[in-house]
Amino acid sequence: PKYAVHPAVEMTQRSIATLKEKSGRSLEEWITLGKKQGPKDRAALVQWFKTEHGQGTNWAGDLADRVLGKDTGWGDSAQEYLAQAVEYVDGMYAGGKAGLRPLHDALIELGLSMGKDVRICPCSTIVPLYRNHVFAQVKPSTRTRIDFGLALGDTRGSDRLIETGGYAKKDRITHRIEITSAKDIDATVKKWLKAAYDRDNTPTVSRR
């Protein structure tokens, strides 16, 4: 119940809803066309959708996966994604990483405490925290450590605030703090999480 629909799922829903109007074909019609006339190789099929039919890179890839019967990841509905989100998180902490689950839950609770606009949108290997963009993420990196990622731009790192190189690569997550026990979720973590949340105060319009 804490999870929100991932922005990528929302974009897919909007794209499908307006596909007929914008492209002249429904999703089912595009899939049928791809199966009948498109190449069988995925890379070639993506390129075919792009060059022959003017589809953008992301949507061409999505269509290619559907034509070839591949898993597109999160499904086309909020219900499908939210069910998958629970499985993602449970899977991350299965087996040897099970002992990290309480730390994960504590970090999620801390993230939600930043404001009512915080959304938790799990992926298969990380759990991003959104405001307008991703401002933090929880990633179980080893059996004994969670890397708590933060979007802090060109902030200078410190002993605990480790620069990831993300700023130079224009990634959202630019720093991380290693969490190995409950005592690591301290005032320092709260300070930097609040800084990341406060930085992300400009809405953006997602485009496919």
pLDDT digits (tens, 9 = 90+) for 25-66: 999 999 999 999 999 999 999 999 999 999 889 889 989 999
Q: How would you list the strands of the sheet with 175-179, edge to edge?
A: 119-120, 127-130, 134-140, 146-150, 175-179, 162-163
* Higher pLDDT, residue 71 or 50: 50
Structure confidence at residue 207 as a pLDDT band (50, 70, 90)? very low
CA distances (Å), 13 to each of 5, 16, 55, 173, in order? 11, 5, 16, 26
pTM (two decimals) = 0.76
Average pLDDT rounded to a whole number, residues 153-165: 95
pLDDT digits (tens, 9 = 90+) for 108-134: 999 999 999 999 999 999 999 999 999
- Write the burial class of residue 168 (CB in 10 Å: 0-12 exposed, 13-18 middle, 19+ buried): exposed
